[in-house]
Amino acid sequence: MAQAGALPEETGGSARTITMLALLLTMLLLAGCGFSPMYAERAADGAALHGWEQVDVAPPADRLTQLVYNELLQNRPPAQRGNRPYVLTMKVAEEEADLLGDRLQRMRVKAEFALMRRTDGRVLMQGRTYGDASYHTTRLHLADAQARAAAMKTAARLVAEDIRTRISAYFARTATNAPGTSTLAFGPPAPAATTR
């Protein structure tokens, strides 16, 4: 006698078989389409590559660039500076605009960035991006300063996330496995890509 809520043994067995077949079919389809997780690490043996770990970020020149720099290095494994084969350089600027008179402000952080190969200084990828955040003004100096700083940090985080994503996508497109080696290898460098 079956208990309430339990499947009879015959149904449980066929449901299990159908589930296993669906799982097998899904795995075959994903393998056939060349699916590869963008954020996975890939070694020369085909197991892993994540280009972001191969990039040093040039030291910031000002406070605003420092905000983007800090966000870029968030949750990143530690390594010796200067040991990575690629360098990211940035020029960061801010602009503010009134959205609703002087009560609502928009903070925009804009960045121009370039990914260079350390050995020869060749620019492999360059682009522009921006992040927007809004904040309300209250005409209380301290509150307005804190709201502005929070909006600037949020916009800097958006810029850093976009730069990291674009660089990871670049490496995912250009990475190749070098047979018989245990180090990361990249295919012939693509012409410098320019994005928005």
25 or 185, higher pLDDT: 25
Residue 163: predicted pLDDT = 93
The answer to whether the CB of 117 falls within 8 A of the CB of 95 is: no
137 or 8, higher pLDDT: 137
Interatomic CA distance for residues 137 and 145, integer angstroms: 9
**Cβ-proximal residues to 106 (8 Å cutoff; 6+ apart), any chain:** 96, 97, 98, 99, 132, 133, 134
Question: What CATH architecture is 51-177+185-195?
Answer: 2-Layer Sandwich (3.30)
Residue 66, class by beta-carbon neighbours within 10 Å (0-12 exposed, 13-18 middle, 19+ buried)? middle
- Tell me what the pLDDT averaged over the chain comes to: 75
Residue 26: predicted pLDDT = 76
pTM listed for this prediction: 0.63
The answer to whether the CB of 79 falls within 8 A of the CB of 112 is: no
pLDDT tens for 124-160 read 999 999 999 999 998 899 999 999 999 999 999 999 9
Please report, for the chain, the start and end positions of each structural domain, with discontinuous segments joined by +: 51-177+185-195
Interatomic CA distance for residues 107 and 151, integer angstroms: 6
pLDDT tens for 91-109 read 999 998 888 777 899 999 9
47 or 12, higher pLDDT: 12
- Six token digits for residue 158: 């958006």
Q: Can you tell me the mean pLDDT for 58-70?
A: 92
